[in-house]
Amino acid sequence: MLKYGVLGSGIGYTLSPKIHSIVFDKLGVNASYDVIDLPTDGLPSEIKRLKDEYDGFNVTKPFKTEIIKHLDEVKCSLGAVNTVRRENGTFVGYNTDVKGFYLSLTHMTGEIKGQSILVLGAGGASEAVISALVTAGADVSVNNRTTVKAVALADKYRIKVWNGEKPTVIINATSLGLDGISNPLPNGVDTSECKYAYDLIYKPSETPFMTFCKKAGAKVSNGLGMLVYQAILADEIFLGQSLDVDGLYEEIMKIIVE
């Protein structure tokens, strides 16, 4: 039996085992998928065991960057890895977040080339989003509470730091509003031309950011679609075969969306 899992900290809520199990069942693959929940400082002491026990694993917060130094090879340009596969005794890192996000967003919006898109946040998740948007030809700007981080990300991807433009799409990669106190959008963001709003998290299923943008007339989505798409793309890597990504996406969404 093949053995996979998702590596992270504080991830007991994750839907990943259910999603990957559906894919394995559909394909007739004899494989298990675990939750590997470690303390935030627990990776160095556990990495040997993981390599001994697993054929591959997904990586989520807070280990997407830290995992890189424990790998033999990384096959992605982004400075973060979310998929690790055993290959001939070595461990190789990949990133399916970029394409997973792109497929999920365009499933809602259609073509995004030329659209004015505001990304909220400048962390690792934001970088995956920005990479996908820039590659697709969108007009991207970034806003972050810490301006220096926004400037660094803008310089790296040759995009703008947000300066009051009215976006047609807003992507939220922050925790704004989740505390029930802070505003769900940064001060000054005008949603009058916003057609689509996308929050990267999927729990809660409707965030304060989504509620605010929906009331402003935007079509909204949480990050469940991204989770599903990146999981299917990871399974392509794990199993070394091309899959019917869109077909599996539709089947999985029917099962896990109540």
Average pLDDT value for residue range 183-206: 93
Pull the structure tokens for residue 65: 């960057």
Distance CA 194, CA 215 (A): 11
Average pLDDT value for residue range 112-128: 93
Are 60 and 200 in contact by the 8 Å Cβ rule? The answer is no
- Asked whether residue 258 carries a pLDDT value surpassing 70, the answer given is no
Alpha helices for 82-220 (secondary structure H): 97-109, 124-135, 147-157, 208-215
Which residues are catalytic, by number? 64
Who contacts 251 (Cβ-Cβ below 8 Å, separation ≥6)? 22, 26
pLDDT at residue 6, rounded to an integer: 98
CA 223 to chain centre: 7
pLDDT at residue 123, rounded to an integer: 86
Which CATH topology does 2-95+228-256 take?
Answer: Rossmann fold (3.40.50)
Which is more confident, 257 or 249?
A: 249
pLDDT at residue 26, rounded to an integer: 95
User: By 3-state DSSP, what share of the chain in percent is helix, strand and coil, each rounded to 5?
Assistant: 40, 20, 40
pLDDT at residue 198, rounded to an integer: 98
pLDDT at residue 77, rounded to an integer: 84
Instruction: Express each pLDDT in 6-35 by its tens digit.
Output: 999 999 989 999 999 999 999 999 999 999
Average pLDDT value for residue range 48-58: 97
Distance CA 188, CA 126 (A): 20
Instruction: Express each pLDDT in 61-103 by its tens digit.
Output: 999 999 999 999 999 988 899 999 999 999 999 999 999 999 9
Least confidently predicted of 45-49, 53-57, 177-181: 177-181
pLDDT at residue 183, rounded to an integer: 87
State the average pLDDT for the chain: 95
* CATH 3.40.50.10860 residue ranges for the chain: 2-95+228-256
Are 165 and 138 in contact by the 8 Å Cβ rule? The answer is no
Query: Which CATH code, of 3.40.640.10, 3.40.50.720, 1.20.810.10, 3.20.20.150, is assigned to 98-222?
Result: 3.40.50.720
Average pLDDT value for residue range 228-241: 97
pLDDT at residue 165, rounded to an integer: 93
Distance CA 104, CA 228 (A): 9
At 195, give phi and psi (nearest 5°). Answer: -95, -30
